[in-house]
Structure 1
Amino acid sequence: MTEPAQDRSLLLHDLFDRQALRHPDKVAVRDQHGELTYARTAQQAERLAALLRQRCPQPGARIGLHLRRGTQLVVAMLAVLRGGHTYVPLDPAYPARRLLFTAQDADLALVLSDQPLPAELTALPVLRLDAPAPPTAQAPAPARPVDPGTPAYVIYTSGSTGRPKGVPVPHRNVAALIRACEPRCETGPEDVWTLFHSYAFDFSVWEIWGALLSGATLVVVPPEVAASPQATLDLLAREGVTVFNVVPSVFRHLARTAPSRRTAVPSALRYVIFGGESIDVRDIRDWRAALGRGTRFVNTYGITESTVFVTLRPLTDEELDREPDTTGQAAFASDLGEPLDGWQLRVVDEHGADIQPGRTGEILVLGAGIAAGYLDMPQLTAERFPLLPDADGTIRRHYRSGDLARLLPDGTYCYAGRADDQVKVNGHRIELGEVEARLREAPGIRDLAVVCALSRLGEPQLTAFYTPADPSAPDHAPTAQPPSPDQLRSHARLVLPAHMVPTRFVPLPELPINPSGKTDRRALADLDTTRPRR
């Protein structure tokens, strides 16, 4: 098997140290309690790394991070990497049972924490970083050489089976990601980034290392601020944020809040980079109408198993200014864009052959960002990370994403939903993504998700949960009043075969989101089984 050549000298902590030498007095990370310069961050990380070398003398240990979002989180990450170890996020905001599963599955050697552990985790060895006297090593311990193939982190991603899967991602993958993205986004030391997401969500990998490895300043957004659109907009303006990474469902709330602002606007914002979900161009147009045209918007497609991003797709002014069609949707919003340098994307049919224009197939990814597999799950690794011939016949590791794309006649790949969104109702195979796409065409719809759950008789049925649009929003005609369930059902019958029309239509003020900021379909399914039938 032949893999792309990699610069084996690139390690995340070494790359950080290069920035510390260039900009020792520049602020590296800031939270609501204080800030650390690059030099100070490096010094604190080295002191903690020396202690970790004593506590975990054998390199390659997996160390849990049970820490609040703040400056010490970055210090701890760097310390773990300097010690030749791998960090495993244990976000305190996650349920204790999920943290226990992660800790046991990852076989943690140690947990770094700044607060008492949940009762479920008290049996784990722990090093408290919030002690009155910060812990220090009794004697200096020599640094160890670290191979770029050593996993930098293990992030757990949910699976269709309901059992989370650990994805170990090596240093060299993250270094390749930053190297590939920097010229595309033109970021550098003058930028101010946010850590907006949970560090247990892989989008944070780009936020943290994209900022710190380019010499920029990373502003940690407290969870309570991230939960408030008004507070988030205030922070973006106050901190002079220039690079903001966000999932579309959260950006939607920011775009809705922006027109009502009476305080400073985030005028320094150069980039909004989307990830994790499909975008709605109407939200971007709402933002531009309220806050101006100074911000550039970039859509991404990515997967935890391929190191955050696979492709980037800048959205141009010409596209965003184009008159929306009758549905308010825009075809370019689903354009996957170009793969990053070192990444490759293929779309294949059920026989493994590359698809032809007009067809839909599964997205396979190969190249610099592909992880080696799942942690201690060899059977699933073999299934999802197969060794296949690429276009020139070379056998290489691919990742089967489970995502679908359609090839247009001009060679553009457009995202087409999840393969595992397919359900079977009354003998018919139904793609939930297709049902959602057609229902979103109805006027007056802002957001919508379709789930399949069991009826009281134990039979599968589709339920559409939706949030009504604000008729006063710039991209919606004043006559587009929010539809009632009966009106949306009538629309569905016009655009979908009878077997694809949901049984129930439920308006909600907002769709629930999970800790990663994505639509929480499991919560909707639970809601569907507990709501009184109407």
Structure 2
Amino acid sequence: MAILKAGGAYVPLDPNSPAERLNYIINDAHIALCLAQPQCAAALDEAQCQVVNLDGKALLSQDLGLTLVLPEVLLSDPAYVIYTSGSTGAPKGVVQTHRNMARLFASAAEDFSFSNQDTWCLFHSYAFDFSVWEIWGALIHGGKLVIPTHHQTRDTAAFVELCQQHQLSVLNQTPSAFGVFAEHVVAHDISLPALRYVVFGGEALQTQHLQSWCQHPANAQTELINMYGITETTVHVTFAPIARQEIDQIHIGRALADQAVYILDAQLQPVPVGVAGEMYVTGAGLADGYLGREALSAERFIDNPHGVGTDCEKLYKTGDLGRHQRDGRIQFIGRMDDQVQIRGFRIELGEVTHQLSSITHVDSAVVIARQSQGTQVLHAYLKLEHSVDEQQHTQEIERIKREAAAFLPAYMVPEQMTLMQDWPLTVNGKIDKKALPQPGEGVSGSKQVAPSTETECQLRDIWAELLDYDGTRISVNQSFFELGGHSLSLMKLVQRLHQVFNVSVSIKEAIEHAQIDQLAQLLDKKVLDLQLSEINEAELDEVEF
């Protein structure tokens, strides 16, 4: 808010991103001033800009004077620049103006009834454009914005408790995150009477994300809204209320009042109703282009052949496939290229592939997005310059993940990795992606070890269910992540452990005990500790050791 009032444009930098990426963005955007909390400033040592340390006590001790004159801010001035993944291996900055941000909420006012009584939540990273909707949606309407800790956004029970404590009324979620949230709410029969809206965005909404919520009678007052949008079009483009009885027919609705969506063929001509084509967005909300990328801007923001004589002179080429339904609503089909959305973050698979291929001893890499337990995850296949023993696969994968995390943000580091001796090829000599092995195949060279205790057997069955994996092929010394587990399925695992064993296991503990044999030992100890704690002193005196 201070940056905008001072007439500047803000460029959000996620402190969880690698220092190399942060410094690239700082230099690419020519940032002159960076505001950083004390614990984050260290990551910016190499940046060529002035860093202001946001130490509260130090700032309050300064005499700022009373003659400060704020500049006039024009609607055409840049408000923010958010960086998204780039296919060439470097992120690209999307420039949005004050006009675009202001008209987003003016346009949405026709479909929502936000007020100063609403409580919103900044659930997502402020480097993700969904945060623009979360932050300014609350403040523009005079409402309250709750900022959860990183732990609260990852611990479903803690986040639900936060929602209850602050009477959250507007919740914005990627569908994958909501699926876990809904399972917890339904499993514990939790009522959230203050919750008026759940707004979905960031990735494709599917029926399975809503089933448990809509089959539960509680929270019927909550409106479910599906919105399609892109960073280049100022967060949201369409509005689609989802009725509980219609969750088997998910759509993205119609364009907001000041925008339009064309579905065109390769010649930029409209396709018939029911026929798939590429989605193009026009109207208010289109970005000014990519910062310092004139050629790319001209490629993606093209002249509108259907906008002669209107204010809609440009079309944004989304790369998304969609079709018009007979009722005028739009059905989202998917991507046309190698760009995917993982839990709301738009990712160019080419960038991830490029960065992984540059890691020491990696000869080549293939990265795909795989559907896993109701959400998309990144799976990397890697061929090393020199073969390694199968017993060393796990160590090599951990090394590659550590090196990747040094220059890729966490959401772009593939959660699943498989080492390949050779690539399967098509008849044309290209890598046959359809022939790549499934998670858990060929990852570990160790001999399969069957469960030997009741706890291990229970865990094997839980893993088989959560990972949709053949339980007879699960070894107790295999990692949860090797078999296809990811952060969202890990949260489901923690919930299931509490239901089955009646003990609490933290996310950190589950990561540190990622094998069945390790987790079984931890659970047995926790169960024993719980039993001992329930024995009162009188009973304890009668126990013979």
TM range (shorter): 0.5 to 0.7
Give CA-to-partner distance per residue, 1:397-441, whole Å, 9 cap, x none: 1111111112334443211111114999xxxxxxx89x96xxx9x
**Alignment partner, residue 164 of structure 1:** 91
Matched, 1:118 2:42: yes
Aligned to 2:18: 95
Q: Decide whether the 8 Å contact of 1:192 with 1:241 is kept in 2.
A: yes
Q: 1:125, 1:230 → 2: CA distance?
A: 40
The residue aligned with 1:250 is 177
Q: TM-score, normalised by structure 2?
A: 0.64
Q: Distance in 1 between matches of 2:132 and 2:375?
A: 28
- Which letter maps to 1:113? A
Q: Distance in 2 between matches of 1:261 and 1:484?
A: 26
Task: Name the CA distance, whole Å, in 1 between partners of 2:257 and 2:37.
Answer: 39
Within 5 A, what are the aligned runs for 1:248-327?
A: 248-261=175-188, 265-290=191-216, 291-320=218-247
**1:451-470 to 2 correspondences below 5 Å:** 453=381, 455-459=420-424, 460=431, 461-462=433-434, 463=436
SS across alignment from 1:193: strand
Q: Equivalent residue of 1:389, what SS? A: coil
Matching residue of 2:57: 132
Q: Which residue in 2 is equivalent to 1:355? A: 271
Distance, in Å, in 2 between the alignment partners of 1:99 and 1:111 is: 11
- What residue is the counterpart of 2:333 in the other structure? 416
Name the SS for the 2:76 alignment partner: coil
Q: Distance in 1 between matches of 2:95 and 2:147?
A: 24
CA contact (8 A) 2:94 2:290 kept: yes
- Contact 1:233–1:254 under 8 Å retained in 2: yes
1: distance between equivalents of 2:466 and 2:488?
23
Is 1:79 matched with 2:55? no
SS class of match (1:89)? coil
- The change in CA–CA distance for 1:456 and 1:357 in structure 2 (over 3 A counts) is farther
State the secondary structure of the residue aligned to 2:107: helix
* Residue number in structure 2 paired with 1:71: none
Q: 1:338 and 2:254 equivalent?
A: yes
Deviations 1:197-221 (A, max 9, x none): 1111000000011111111111111
> Partner of 1:251: helix, strand, or coil?
helix
Unaligned runs of 5+ in 1: 1-77, 321-329, 425-431, 468-479, 488-504, 514-534
Task: Tell which structure's C-alpha radius of gyration is larger.
Answer: 2
CA distance 1:466–1:283, shift in 2 (3 Å): farther
Alpha-carbon deviation of 1:393?
A: 5.8
Separation in structure 2 between the aligned mates of residue 112 and residue 136 of structure 1, nearest angstrom: 18
Query: Structure 1 residue aligned with 2:296, among 380, 387, 393?
Result: 380
Aligned partners of 1:292, 1:89: CA distance in 2, in Å?
34
Q: Of 143, 147, 156, which aligns to 1:220?
A: 147
Q: State the 1:358 CA deviation.
A: 3.2
Note the C-alpha offset of 1:483.
4.8
Deviations 1:438-484 (A, max 9, x none): xx9xxxx54455868565324522458689xxxxxxxxxxxx99754
Q: Work out the percentage of aligned pairs sharing the same amino acid.
A: 36
Task: Write out per-residue CA displacement over residues 206-262 of structure 1, whole angstroms, 9 at most, x where no aligned residue.
Answer: 001111111111111111101111111111111100000011111111122223337
* 2:82–2:95 Cα contact (<8 Å) kept: yes
CA distance in 2, matches of 1:367, 1:136: 46
CA contact (8 A) 2:83 2:92 kept: yes
Aligned 1:179-190 pairs, distance under 5 A: 179-190=106-117
SS at match of 2:334: strand
Q: Which moved more, 1:90-99 or 1:105-114?
A: 90-99
Q: Pick closer, same or farther for the CA change 1:131–1:270 going to 2, 3 Å.
A: closer
TM-score by length of 1: 0.65
Inter-CA distance 115–201: structure 2 relative to 1 (3 Å threshold): same
Figure out how many residues of one structure are paired with residues of the other and give that number.
Answer: 383
Which of the pair is proportionally richer in strand? Answer: 1
Instruction: Classify the secondary structure of the residue corresponding to 1:118.
Output: helix
Deviates more, 1:289-298 or 1:119-128: 119-128
Offset, 1:162: 2.7
Residue 183 of structure 1: CA displacement?
A: 2.8
Cα distance in 2 between the residues matched to 1:309 and 1:466: 35
- Report if aligned partners of 1:485, 1:507 keep a CA contact under 8 Å in 2: no
Using a 3 Å threshold, how does the CA distance of structure 1 residues 412 and 507 change in structure 2: closer, same or farther? farther
Residues 1:97 and 1:171: Cα distance change in structure 2 (over 3 Å): same
Would the aligned equivalents of 2:307 and 2:313 in 1 still touch at CA under 8 Å?
A: no
The residue that corresponds to 2:82 in the other structure is 155
1:364 aligns with 2:280: yes
Describe the shift of the 1:482–1:383 C-alpha distance in structure 2 as closer, same or farther (beyond 3 A): closer
Distance in 2 (alpha carbons) for counterparts of 1:125 and 1:481: 48
The structural deviation recorded for 1:167 is 0.7
Measured at CA, do residues 447 and 147 of structure 1 come closer, stay the same or move farther in structure 2, by a change above 3 Å?
closer
* 1:448/1:144 CA distance change after superposition, 3 Å: closer
Letter in 2 for 1:109: A
Q: Confirm or deny that 1:390 pairs with 2:306.
A: yes
Task: Please name the residue that 1:210 is paired with.
Answer: 137
1:16 aligned partner: none
**Aligned residue type for 1:508:** G
